[in-house]
Amino acid sequence: MTRPLTTDDLPALMTGIMATLAGIGIARFAYTPLLPAVIQEGWFTASQGAYLGAANLLGYFIGALAAHSLSERFAPRWVMAVSFASIGLSFVLCAGAGGFLWFFFWRLVSGVAGGILMVVGPSLALAATPPERRTRVGALVFTGIGAGALLSAFVVPLLLGVSLSLTWGALGLLSLAAGLLCDRGVARLPAPCITRPVGNSAVRYAGVKVIVLLVIGAYALDAVGFVPHTVFWVDYLAREHALGQQAASLQWGIFGVGALCGPFMVGALAQRVGWQGGLMIAFAAKAAAVLLPVFSLALISQSISSFMVGAMIPGIVALTSGRLAELVGPTAHKQLWGRATAAFAAAQAGAGYGMSALFGMWGSYTPLFTISGMALALGLLLVLLSRSVQQRRTHPSAQ
């Protein structure tokens, strides 16, 4: 039974939301509206700018792999504090024109720190939340992603009107402020709520291993669909289609609104059709939304694409996590969620570099949206296959 949130949940919410806000909302998404300005100011070429975006994706993969061992070896509070400081420094130290390698290194650092925060922050928050309220807290934790995108959509264009260097510095200070708020939340977290495992989790995992692998495979393909909108969308609209920074920033704002709404949307969806049904619908919706700009760039098409992709980014994260927990139970979930996060990060980094290289060859972002839409369609097929496998195991006589 899911119970309403209480004031006791505020430390967990502050911990998780600030971690996702800085980890992806600022460290990743704030660079998207910065990309056209960096290119127009002559700091880097379009191809170099795309590779700098991909550097963050590579760092995220490294951070996701290292997060668990770091949080086990050192106090999680200090691991998170160093991560917030690293993100802040990565922006402040890039507040002036510099060499490509300098920017690449600090975009990589911000990705590593972001990956750590995205693994450690939500897990700390959920571990300190009673089981009957984890569904609600888990949904709200990921709203930090949307809040960061929305914030960057409205704050970044205003700051860019003053100075590109000021924008980088302000984002660094904002990351540090989020770190201070998160640290207050971590300091007030209650002791972790430990629940007894039901049955033998190892045996349970072995029984659904193929289904779990299919779900993780779909999640990795979702990472390919994640890249164009989160790295290239603003530049695609502003420069490639000459719609201008203002129109592109509006779409990034709509993306942020979608990312804020996504966790609530999929929470309601999962209650109606279950985790499996929700994943099927989410993959179908995201594939259609990613492909839409290939066929139409009318304002309504842009807006639908921005909102739905924004909503399904945290939405599919929440649905995949819920589906894995449903399959293997809470005891085995943490380990498998770590593997799923690593698979997502690896696919995301590979797609980021591959798409940057393709953009350098083709000089256009449009084919990248087609590739991502097809990857999401393949992800949908894996989700459908996982359901088919589960049905055959549940009703073997139907074969």
- 190 pLDDT tier (thresholds 50, 70, 90): confident
For residue 195, how far is the Cα from the chain centroid? Answer: 28
Q: Which of 255, 174, 235, 286 is nearest to 36 (CA)?
A: 235
Mean pLDDT value of segment 340-366: 88
Mean pLDDT value of segment 290-319: 93
* Sign of the C-alpha dihedral computed for residues 70, 72, 217 and 366 taken in this order: negative
pLDDT at position 397 is 53
3-state secondary structure of 185: helix
Instruction: Give me the DSSP letters along 205-246.
Output: HHHTHHHHHHHHHHHHHHHHHHHIIIIIHHHIIIIIS--HHH
pLDDT in tens, 192-237: 665 554 455 555 555 688 999 999 999 999 999 988 998 888 889 9
pLDDT at 384 over 90: yes
For residue 146, how far is the Cα from the chain centroid? Answer: 9
Residues 6+ apart with CB under 8 A from 5: 13, 133, 136, 137, 140
pLDDT at 1 over 50: no
pLDDT in tens, 62-71: 998 888 888 8
For residue 118, give Cα distances in angstroms to 59, 258, 355. 12, 19, 24
pLDDT at position 128 is 80
d(CA 138, CA 269): 15
Supply φ then ψ for residue 154, to 5 degrees: -100, -35
Mean pLDDT value of segment 293-318: 93
- 39 pLDDT tier (thresholds 50, 70, 90): confident
pLDDT at position 195 is 54
Residues 6+ apart with CB under 8 A from 81: 179, 183
Cα three-residue angle 84-86-91, rounded to 5 degrees:
100
Q: Which ranges constitute the DSSP H helices of 93-238?
A: 100-127, 134-141, 143-160, 164-187, 201-207, 209-227, 233-235
C-beta of residue 20 within 8 angstroms of C-beta of residue 341: no
pLDDT in tens, 44-56: 888 888 788 888 8
**Tokens representing 184?**
């207050």
**Tokens representing 145?**
């992603």
In the chain, how many H helices and how many E strands?
14, 0
Question: Scanning the structure block, which residue is given the tokens 């591959």?
Answer: 354
